[in-house]
Chains A and B, each alone.
Chain A
Amino acid sequence: MLFNSLDFAVFLPLVFLIYWFVFPKNIKQQNVMLLISSYVFYGWWDWRFLSLILFSTILDYMLGKRMGNSQNESDRKWLLATSVVVNLGFLGFFKYYNFFADSFVQVFTFMGQPIHPRALSIVLPVGISFYTFQTLSYSIDVYKRKLEPARDFISFATFVSFFPQLVAGPIERATHLLPQFYKKRKFDYALAADGSKQMLWGFFKKVVIADNCAEYVNIIFQNYENYSASTLALGAVLFAFQIYGDFSGYSDIAIGLSRLFGFDLMKNFAFPYFSRDIAEFWRRWHISLSTWFRDYLYIPLGGSKGGLGIKIRNTFIIFLVSGFWHGANWTFVIWGALNALYFLPLLLAGKNRNNLNQIAEGRLLPSFKEAGQLLITFSLTCLAWVFFRAESVTMAFDYISSMFSISILSKPQVFPIEIIALVGLFIMIEWLGRESDFAIQSLGIKWRRPFRYGVYYGVFMLIYFAGNFSDEIEFIYFQF
């Protein structure tokens, strides 16, 4: 089920009313209700893959219990290894089988020994990368004794399949989300009102910014050979806003939705395009995934401690794995490598934690230096996004090389003035709200009621009158 679908518009009020009015005081009943709703939400797409989630849930619940009860370190290691192998095995099979099969064919063909492995027509279960990482975080934390094993199966199953964030995150840590299923939940007006506003803003990002940009991005990327450098540059910039609007929009809806049910999910985006360097960008982009890799991969590998070689190795590992997590294509791997190359000089110079505060904190406008840093960081990011969007490595290189020509000074052949104006308005609102959790959280909060409501109606009108509703376009991150 998509958040921007009519099905969901019926589903949400139903679940909300039953949750708060039929089971207002019983946590167990509320959890059962959420579990059933989550399975319906996921099964709406393809009910067959519910068995995969259920299997992972049962396995990790049982392994977690045994890990918690066992004092034998060797047994505990085996139990953790089982969880890791099975979960990553599923992920590997469904997401990467054909990629590896194709790559082997290419390598063997190159060596003069063509092989013909069986190509499988595999459907990628929506959100498998997200819930796999979530259950893995549970197993690892139980193994490290940072977390008690789940108290009951229903709470754990609901934690794994919690519908607001099941298919595209944020990737929650068990230590943060699981305990919330044990606590009594009371309707909190401030939390729900904030959540509703965040959902509204998320829908704006998705249907107004992302889906409108998508139309022109598709036109430019599909015919990139025929366009001038300035058009290609515009295509890359529009894609930057498409992917940001799409993914952070989903996160905003997910976080806002959880708040309606009394849950608090972790922040996933913190205005990443207002970053002054790449290190800051990665502290602000897809926070739940970058911190996951930091805690479960980068730090166990030694992090930034150790010699130069270790630092370089670890940086590349984390960025390459991150790229590979996004999809079974070399374009994603190169996207990761490029970001590692951007990040490494900062790490080696010890400047990767220079910009921990907000840009232009307490000021309306950035300084010239900050504006320059922001533009450079954004340009580097756009360049890397070309690999992310391109269908092949060759196409990405062709696209980028065509971008660096004298025609960069010409007027773009595709110039959707309305969309550019909307993106401009979006940047302005995000800039004004950059010190909040989401852009419109505090916007007009101290104004008189009619003006404050004017802001919300304004956003609603933009969604309605400027939104792109063609065929309920899917969220990009569903494929990851």
Chain B
Amino acid sequence: MKKYFQKLSSFLLGVMAINILVTFVVDGLYYEPYTKMMRESKGQDIKGIIMADSHGLPLKQNLSDKGIVNISWGSDSYEDMNNKLQFYLKHHDLDYVIISADNHLLSNYRENLNNVEASINYVDPEFSDYSLTGYLYLKYIKRYCSVISPKNRDIFLARLKSFLKKNLVRKSWEEKEDKIARGEKRVRLHFDNLRKSEVLSQDLSDMIEMCEAKGVKVFGIKYPLTSAYLRAMNSSNFGSDSVMKAYGCRILDFQKIFMERNDLFSDEDHLNLEGGKLFANMIENDVLNFRASKE
């Protein structure tokens, strides 16, 4: 028995070394930047926040001088947004919240692909709906036990791949010849599973109700899409806009505004930096003017 444990231990030491390496890399690439916004926001005068998945990323912090902070993150689901919102409502006197109302956001795809192990850091355990075991599992096990966390593994591999491919020149969206096929593939990823996520729908409702309770105005935004994506998507919609409308929220639909402008996109459904800047101006005009007209 002693010999078995000796050999098993030496094997497990190696496994632990792999675990430490992956955790260290992923912590720097993912968990730290994810929670950085939370740490930096303390003491800032924030009037509004923009919450979305990767569709919101190109907006960068172009509206920060207007007191609007963009806290979007790639793959953020409504559960993540809910976790973040609790933090911002607690620590800031917000006027309004701009939530993504994209057609795929109540999909099964988004329910499975999220950042809940990172957004859990925004949650105050005392007032959270998570069970103690669920909270501890998400916050510590998934973050530090990389060998049982496929998310950490995937981030590590993605980083490794981009490191190996860093010298490769990638074609811009405008130059790509198979736009239609790419649009269809992306839409399949978002809409193939027809089940609407009830969990995310509940999270969205919870967010709106939390805002209402604090007198914070909620806007819904549909982000600009390429014509290839729009054509493939057709009328597919899991209905986050309907949930928001049911609460009387205003939906700003920008899906078709850049339909003819492939030069403003980096891929099927994401703006590039230039597109992000232009779009930020539109949000500013639309949301801020709307707010001003109400006041």
User: B1 contacts which of A6, A189, A196 (Cβ < 8 Å)?
Assistant: A189
List B1-54 residues whose CB lies under 8 Å from chain A.
Answer: 1, 3-4, 7-8, 10-11, 14-15, 18
B148 and A6 contacting across the interface, CB-CB below 8 Å: yes
Q: How far is the CA of A471 from the CA of B112 in the complex (A)?
A: 9
Nearest chain B residue, comparing its CB with the CB of A460? B15
Q: Binary interface profile of B, 131-162, with partner A (CB < 8 Å = 1, else 0)?
A: 00000000000000001101001000100000
* Residue among A457, A464, A471 with max Cβ neighbours from chain B (10 Å): A464
Q: How far is the CA of A20 from the CA of B5 in the complex (A)?
A: 12
Q: How far is the CA of A9 from the CA of B10 in the complex (A)?
A: 19
Asked whether A107 is an interface residue with its Cβ less than 8 Å from the other chain, the reply is no
Chain A residues touching B, majority SS? helix
Asked whether A193 is an interface residue with its Cβ less than 8 Å from the other chain, the reply is yes
B14 and A193 contacting across the interface, CB-CB below 8 Å: no
Q: Do A457 and B1 contact each other (CB < 8 Å), given the known contacts A9-B148, A193-B7?
A: no
Asked whether A456 is an interface residue with its Cβ less than 8 Å from the other chain, the reply is yes
List A445-477 residues whose CB lies under 8 Å from chain B.
Answer: 453, 456-457, 460-461, 464-465, 469-471
CB distance from B255 to the nearest CB of A (A): 28
Q: Chain A: how many interface residues by the 8 Å CB criterion? A: 18
Q: Binary interface profile of A, 6-28, with partner B (CB < 8 Å = 1, else 0)?
A: 10010000000000100000000
Cβ–Cβ < 8 Å partners of A456 in chain B: 11
CB distance from B159 to the nearest CB of A (A): 13
Nearest chain A residue, comparing its CB with the CB of B151? A469
B18 and A464 contacting across the interface, CB-CB below 8 Å: yes
CB distance from A326 to the nearest CB of B (A): 28
B153 and A465 contacting across the interface, CB-CB below 8 Å: yes
Q: How far is the CA of A6 from the CA of B7 in the complex (A)?
A: 23
B18 and A189 contacting across the interface, CB-CB below 8 Å: no
Asked whether A100 is an interface residue with its Cβ less than 8 Å from the other chain, the reply is no
A193 and B150 contacting across the interface, CB-CB below 8 Å: no
A20 and B1 contacting across the interface, CB-CB below 8 Å: yes
Interface size class of B (residues with CB under 8 A): 10 to 19
* Residue among B3, B4, B153 with max Cβ neighbours from chain A (10 Å): B4
Q: How far is the CA of A457 from the CA of B21 in the complex (A)?
A: 15
Asked whether A371 is an interface residue with its Cβ less than 8 Å from the other chain, the reply is no
Q: Do A469 and B150 contact each other (CB < 8 Å), given the known contacts A187-B1, A187-B4, A189-B1?
A: yes
Nearest chain B residue, comparing its CB with the CB of A471? B112
Cβ–Cβ < 8 Å partners of B150 in chain A: 469-470
Asked whether A192 is an interface residue with its Cβ less than 8 Å from the other chain, the reply is yes
A196 and B8 contacting across the interface, CB-CB below 8 Å: yes
B4 and A461 contacting across the interface, CB-CB below 8 Å: no
Interchain Cβ contacts within 8 Å, total number: 31
List B98-156 residues whose CB lies under 8 Å from chain A.
Answer: 112, 147-148, 150, 153
Cβ–Cβ < 8 Å partners of A20 in chain B: 1
Q: How far is the CA of A187 from the CA of B147 in the complex (A)?
A: 28
Cβ–Cβ < 8 Å partners of B3 in chain A: 189
Q: How far is the CA of A9 from the CA of B147 in the complex (A)?
A: 12
Cβ–Cβ < 8 Å partners of B112 in chain A: 470-471
A465 and B157 contacting across the interface, CB-CB below 8 Å: yes
Q: How far is the CA of A196 from the CA of B3 in the complex (A)?
A: 14
A453 and B153 contacting across the interface, CB-CB below 8 Å: no
Q: Binary interface profile of A, 192-204, with partner B (CB < 8 Å = 1, else 0)?
A: 1100100000000
CB distance from B50 to the nearest CB of A (A): 30
Q: How far is the CA of A469 from the CA of B3 in the complex (A)?
A: 32
Q: How far is the CA of A238 from the CA of B8 in the complex (A)?
A: 34
User: A464 contacts which of B7, B11, B153 (Cβ < 8 Å)?
Assistant: B153
Q: How far is the CA of A471 from the CA of B148 in the complex (A)?
A: 12
CB distance from A4 to the nearest CB of B (A): 10
B4 and A192 contacting across the interface, CB-CB below 8 Å: yes
List A379-412 residues whose CB lies under 8 Å from chain B.
Answer: none
B147 and A464 contacting across the interface, CB-CB below 8 Å: yes
Q: How far is the CA of A469 from the CA of B149 in the complex (A)?
A: 9
Q: How far is the CA of A461 from the CA of B112 in the complex (A)?
A: 24
Nearest chain B residue, comparing its CB with the CB of A461? B18
Q: How far is the CA of A196 from the CA of B4 in the complex (A)?
A: 10
Nearest chain A residue, comparing its CB with the CB of B10? A453
Nearest chain A residue, comparing its CB with the CB of B156? A465
Cβ–Cβ < 8 Å partners of B148 in chain A: 6, 9
CB distance from A350 to the nearest CB of B (A): 49
Q: How far is the CA of A471 from the CA of B18 in the complex (A)?
A: 23
B14 and A453 contacting across the interface, CB-CB below 8 Å: yes
Nearest chain B residue, comparing its CB with the CB of A21? B1
A193 and B147 contacting across the interface, CB-CB below 8 Å: no
Nearest chain A residue, comparing its CB with the CB of B7? A193
Cβ–Cβ < 8 Å partners of A6 in chain B: 148
Q: How far is the CA of A42 from the CA of B3 in the complex (A)?
A: 32
Q: How far is the CA of A461 from the CA of B21 in the complex (A)?
A: 13
CB distance from B155 to the nearest CB of A (A): 12
CB distance from A95 to the nearest CB of B (A): 27
Q: How far is the CA of A255 from the CA of B281 in the complex (A)?
A: 64
Q: How far is the CA of A189 from the CA of B10 in the complex (A)?
A: 15
A189 and B15 contacting across the interface, CB-CB below 8 Å: no
Q: How far is the CA of A469 from the CA of B148 in the complex (A)?
A: 9
Q: How far is the CA of A193 from the CA of B1 in the complex (A)?
A: 10
A457 and B14 contacting across the interface, CB-CB below 8 Å: yes
Q: Binary interface profile of A, 77-121, with partner B (CB < 8 Å = 1, else 0)?
A: 000000000000000000000000000000000000000000000
Q: How far is the CA of A471 from the CA of B109 in the complex (A)?
A: 12
Q: How far is the CA of A6 from the CA of B149 in the complex (A)?
A: 10
Q: How far is the CA of A469 from the CA of B146 in the complex (A)?
A: 13
Q: How far is the CA of A20 from the CA of B8 in the complex (A)?
A: 16
CB distance from B24 to the nearest CB of A (A): 16
B11 and A453 contacting across the interface, CB-CB below 8 Å: yes
Cβ–Cβ < 8 Å partners of B10 in chain A: 453
Cβ–Cβ < 8 Å partners of A453 in chain B: 10-11, 14
Cβ–Cβ < 8 Å partners of A189 in chain B: 1, 3-4
- B residues bordering A, Cβ < 8 Å? 1, 3-4, 7-8, 10-11, 14-15, 18, 112, 147-148, 150, 153, 157
- A residues bordering B, Cβ < 8 Å? 6, 9, 20, 187, 189, 192-193, 196, 453, 456-457, 460-461, 464-465, 469-471
Instruction: Pull 6 A–B residue pairs with CB atoms less than 8 Å apart, ordered by A.
Output: A193-B7, A460-B18, A464-B18, A464-B147, A465-B157, A470-B150
